[in-house]
Structure formats: C-alpha cells, structure tokens
Amino acid sequence: MSYLDLSIKDIHQALLDKKTTPLELTKEALLRAHADTCNSFEYICENEALEFAKTLNDVEKDNLLYGIPYLLKDNFSTKDIPSCASSNILNGYIPIFDATVVKKLKDKKAILIGKTTMDELAMGGSGTTGHKGITYNPYDISKTRLCGGSSCGSAAAVAQAVTPFALGSDTGDSVRKPASFNSLVGFKPTWGRISRFGLFPFAPSLDHVAYFTRSVEDAAIVLDAISGRDKSDSTCFDMDSTNSYENLNKYNLNGCKIVILNEIMDSFKDEQLKNKLNNFIELLKSRGAIINYVDFNKSLLEAIFPTYFVISCAEATSNNANLDGIKFGDRKDGNTYQEVMINTRTAGFSELIKRRFVIGSFVLMSENREELFIRAQKARRLIVNRLNEIMKDNDILLTPAAPSISPKIKESSDKLSDTYLIADNHLALENFSGMPSITIPFAFKDDMPFGINLSSKILQEDLLLSISSKFEELIGLKGVSVRNYKEYLKEEK
C-alpha cells in the first residue's frame, strides 16, 4: 500500500499525522511515473518536483491539496517546463508563463509530477494520435484496447494511482469518455467556471478545463482549488471559487428529478450493461429519485456529430494558425515566409490534424460559410434550446458515458449507425451548452471498466457533485484503480 492509493482527504490526514511527507509522496509518485507501462508521459518533472517538495515542511491544516502530487495534460502552459501538446510542431517549446490553473495549484502547494501524453493538440478521442504513439489502457494487459482520449496520459496515470488527480481538457468528451474506459471520475464543470488562460486552445467555444480523480469528493476538492474569476481570461465567470467540498452532502436522491433520454437509451446496444443500468435506475427509484423518460428529438441528436465537427474544425483552424514556424513552432527552412510556414506545418502536423484543418478552412471559405459554418451554429442553438427545455423540469441528466467498454484499437465503427452518431457522441451536448458534466465508474464487463454520465444545469456543480456522490455510494466503486479493482470485482460476485 502507498498513500498515493488513498483519497486526497486521507492523504492529507496522513500528512497531518506525520505518517508521510510531501517529499516522500513525491518520490513515490516519481517511482510510479517511471514504472508506467502505458506511455502516459511527455515529461516527468523529476528535479522540479523534488526541489519543490523539499520546501514543503509545514502542512497547512485547512489546505487539502498541500503536498499532494498531481499531473497535467501537456496542453497546459508550464513555465520553464516543456509543453508540446503531443505534437511535433511544438517539440522543444518551453513556455515563459504558467497557466492560471497551474498557478493556483502551485499556490495551494500541490506538486506537479509530470506532463501527460494526449491525442495531438487535443484532437481525437482514441489516445493513439500523439507524436509518442499509442497510450495504452492500463486495465488491458493485452494492450489491444483503447485508453480513450484526448486526455489519455492523464487517465492512464490516475488509473495507475501515480497521483490522485490529473488535469485534462474536454472539448467534446476528452475527459469524460476516457474516464469511462479507465474507471475514473472525469469532471468538466460549467464553461467559464475555470480559467482557461494558458490552456492551448482547440475550439474555445467548446473547450473546458476538466480533470480525473478516483472519487467525487476529490473532484469537489479540486474544483474548489482551481475555479473562480481570473483577470487574464475574459470568458471566465466573475465569481468566487466554489465551495463544493463543503456542500457535498447538501442534496440527496429523495425527490431528485432525473431525466433519461429515450433515443440515447435506444442507441445503447450493449444488453449486459443496459440491463445493469436499468436495474440501477430501479434502485434510484427506491431511494426516492423521480425518473422521467423523455424524447429529445432524434434528428437533433443525429446532428450532434456533424455540428461538433464543423464548429470544432473551424475554430481549431483559426486558433492554430499561429503554429507557423514564425510565431510558434519548430521552424523548417524556406526561401520565403510562405515557404517557411508550409514546410513547418507540413512536417509538424500529423495526417489527422491536417485533415481537420482542411475541413476547417473549407467550412470557413466565404462561399461555404453560410451553408456550413453558420448552419452548424444554428444547429447548435436548436440542440441547446431543446436540452434547456428538458432541463427546466429536471435536475440531472443521466446517460451511459460510452456505447460500451473501451473498443479494440483496430476496431472500426459504422459512422452512420445510431451507436456511433448518438451513443458515442452525445457527451458533446454538454460542450455545446456549457453544462457541468461528470462521468463516474459504474461497472466492469470482461474485466474492463464502463462509466455513466450525469449532468446538471449550468453553475449547479454543488447539486451535480452531491447527487454523483450518492450514486457513487450505491455503485460501490469509489477509489477504484488498476491496483485494487480485483478486490472490488470479488465483492461484486
């Protein structure tokens, strides 16, 4: 056993009781990071972490994150620490400032252990497209199943209990989907709740800072530490940070109105997991929850993926235009500045990124704008209007977080099926609307994890986290990791 296997509150208690120290925790986290077999790391902050940990000698009683090791997806800017977003174009880039979340965590004396691998520039959902190759799913010893992405390294590392939490980003589902595949809590608060200053932009109207933990309680603790106004990010709410940890028991299941969308359940074809979910819904009813089944509108749900794709590619193209070898990026020679840009971008981006930029440029061309880009924005509005209408009468939206357990790396899906269009893509609903949304561990099938997702109206994180923690108690997978999950499975049998 290591203290790293425990919850943040329990590690904090161990620090207060002098059973361990920040330096010991750091050394252990570094050992675990070096022992990683999943390709989770872009950079391990060996010296930086040890130096910082040595200065932490006075555990602060009211600061739960004091001396707690953590990890960051490699698309957060870290002063003097390489940050390349798993893209060749940013090889060797060392930022001169910290992202606001990094600064806040430093002020709390949390210890950065490393930068984690990701799908290149946060585009992708598989964990296979970063410049260091595939990031593996720690639950799958055969290394044939996806870890999920784009925040793959953060997911794989928290599942291996390298640290109790790791930051990622979620533009379409990039924390909440891998959370499902790695038996983790994956949380994306309301758009604007957490400053994005220093997060490399992918599609800013959809981008969220999000993160992984192994319990809902830990998710509340991290939210309180990194939320709140920021002068450097005008899209961040002018509000104090949250008090979600204190409010974790404020709401309960009795009388809680939970909505289930019929089309999403119909598109969820895994009978074994579906039965389990239906049984769980009965259990929720017996605890006083009110379950409402509602039709969303199938055409609108089928429009999520194309709408997401058009908007995110358009925004990505424009936001990544500065990676040109002149302002940013690993410059390749040329005789003119145009040649420099072409050579830099040709060498620096993978096929997936180039494809997305071609699509983004295409939908933004003046002759296509109205028909493609503006139309996608209108579709987004219709989808969000329908969602808001449904949420007016409900507290929580409950869905499966993915169509099933993590798919095989080589498996291809029928892109026109309901399973793909709806079950695999509906998590973007909360990126379109900005609603807070959390995936929590729900079950195992064939020894692989599967999660469910809960969302609430915007700025209702306290309600969402309270209800999620009640779910977590009923499910019984709180604190699960690859190191201990066999114990949980035994109990289940």
Question: Active-site positions?
Answer: 73, 150, 174
- Given candidates 22, 125, 192, 436, which one binds ligand GLN under the rule CB under 6 A? 125
Residue (83 or 394) nearer to ligand GLN, CB: 83
Residue (109 or 356) nearer to ligand GLN, CB: 356
Query: How far apart (Å, rounded) are the C-alpha atoms in residues 291 and 282?
Result: 9
DSSP character at residue 76? B
Ordered DSSP codes for 378-434: HHHHHHHHHHHHHHHT-SEEEEESSSSSPPBTT----TTSHIIIIITTGGGHHHHH-
Closest CA to 224 of 240, 208, 207, 209: 240
Query: How far apart (Å, rounded) are the C-alpha atoms in residues 305 and 237?
Result: 28
| 123 contacts ligand GLN (rule: CB under 6 A) | yes
Of 68-76, 119-127, 368-376, 479-487, the window that binds ligand GLN (rule: CB under 6 A) is 119-127
- Given candidates 122, 222, 248, 454, which one binds ligand GLN under the rule CB under 6 A? 122
* Cα 354 to chain centroid, rounded: 24
Query: How far apart (Å, rounded) are the C-alpha atoms in residues 466 and 456?
Result: 11
Q: What share of the chain is helix, strand, coil (3-state, %, to 5)?
A: 40, 15, 45
The CB-of-157 to ligand GLN minimum distance in angstroms stands at 18
The CB-of-437 to ligand GLN minimum distance in angstroms stands at 12
Restricting to residues 282-321, name those near ligand GLN by CB under 6 A: 312
Write down the residue that tokens 């790396």 correspond to.
409
Q: What angle (nearest 5°) sits at the alpha carbon of residue 127, between those of residues 124 and 133?
A: 110
- Given candidates 28, 36, 74, 170, which one binds ligand GLN under the rule CB under 6 A? 170
| 424 contacts ligand GLN (rule: CB under 6 A) | no
Helix (H, G, I), strand (E, B) or coil at 22: helix
The CB-of-340 to ligand GLN minimum distance in angstroms stands at 28
The CB-of-151 to ligand GLN minimum distance in angstroms stands at 7
483, two tokens: 């190191």
Restricting to residues 143-162, name those near ligand GLN by CB under 6 A: 150
Residue (119 or 472) nearer to ligand GLN, CB: 119
| 130 contacts ligand GLN (rule: CB under 6 A) | no
Of 89-97, 130-138, 163-171, 465-473, the window that binds ligand GLN (rule: CB under 6 A) is 163-171
Residue 167: phi and psi, rounded to 5, are -85, 150
- Given candidates 7, 26, 117, 174, which one binds ligand GLN under the rule CB under 6 A? 174
Of 3-11, 122-130, 388-396, 407-415, the window that binds ligand GLN (rule: CB under 6 A) is 122-130
| 44 contacts ligand GLN (rule: CB under 6 A) | no
Write down the residue that tokens 């870290």 correspond to.
78
The CB-of-418 to ligand GLN minimum distance in angstroms stands at 18
- Given candidates 173, 315, 461, 462, which one binds ligand GLN under the rule CB under 6 A? 173
Closest CA to 154 of 124, 132, 184, 128: 184
Number of Cβ atoms within 10 Å of the Cβ of 210: 28
Query: How far apart (Å, rounded) are the C-alpha atoms in residues 150 and 130?
Result: 9
Residue type, 232: S
Of 9-17, 63-71, 128-136, 168-176, the window that binds ligand GLN (rule: CB under 6 A) is 168-176
- Determine contact, residues 106/80, Cβ cutoff 8 Å: no
83, two tokens: 């940050």
Cα distance between the two ends of the chain: 24
Bridge partners of residue 194, in order along the sequence: 227
The CB-of-223 to ligand GLN minimum distance in angstroms stands at 19
Residue (4 or 156) nearer to ligand GLN, CB: 156
Of 57-65, 120-128, 323-331, 453-461, the window that binds ligand GLN (rule: CB under 6 A) is 120-128
Residue (138 or 172) nearer to ligand GLN, CB: 172
Q: Site size for ligand GLN, by CB under 6 A?
A: 13
| 171 contacts ligand GLN (rule: CB under 6 A) | yes
| 172 contacts ligand GLN (rule: CB under 6 A) | yes
The CB-of-334 to ligand GLN minimum distance in angstroms stands at 30
Ordered DSSP codes for 252-312: -STT-EEEEEHHHHHH---HHHHHHHHHHHHHHHHTTPEEEEE---HHHHHTHHHHHHHHH
Closest CA to 146 of 112, 173, 115, 167: 173
Of 123-131, 251-259, 296-304, 368-376, the window that binds ligand GLN (rule: CB under 6 A) is 123-131
Restricting to residues 196-235, name those near ligand GLN by CB under 6 A: 202
Which residues are at the interface with ligand GLN (CB under 6 A)?
122-125, 150, 169-174, 202, 312
